[in-house]
Amino acid sequence: MVHYQIIHCPHCEGTDLHKNGKSLNGTQRWFCKECKKYFRLAYRYKACQRETKEKIIEMTLNSSGVRDIGRVLGISKNTVTSELKKNSKNEPLLSDQRRIRQDGRIGSRDPA
């Protein structure tokens, strides 16, 4: 009986992968030949997990502060800040939200 697991790249869902050594804690590192990115299947530090990154954005949109997010998710506030900076470069999601809020304020101040 042969057991195997098809591994997909978390960045591009590609399957053209090869093993790329092990991390210091012994987890397998993978390299995706399609998008040229490295990843692991499981991360021990919470800040590296994909769900945590999504939660940071979600909590920011619900107007939680950087220290609040760090305390709730169990990661450093500096990690939260750097993650938000990365997102503002790659995805204009947060800056768009700010623009919408500013427009809303301007609209409420000036009813005409």
Site for Zn ion in 52-81 (CB under 5 A): none
The Cα 45–Cα 14 span in angstroms is 24
Site for Zn ion in 29-48 (CB under 5 A): 32, 34-35
The Cα 42–Cα 50 span in angstroms is 10
If binding is defined by CB under 5 A, does position 10 make contact with Zn ion? no
Identify which of 53, 7, 5, 46 has the alpha carbon closest to the alpha carbon of residue 30.
7
CB of 34 to Zn ion, least distance (A): 5
Give the binding site for Zn ion (CB under 5 A): 9, 11-12, 14, 32, 34-35
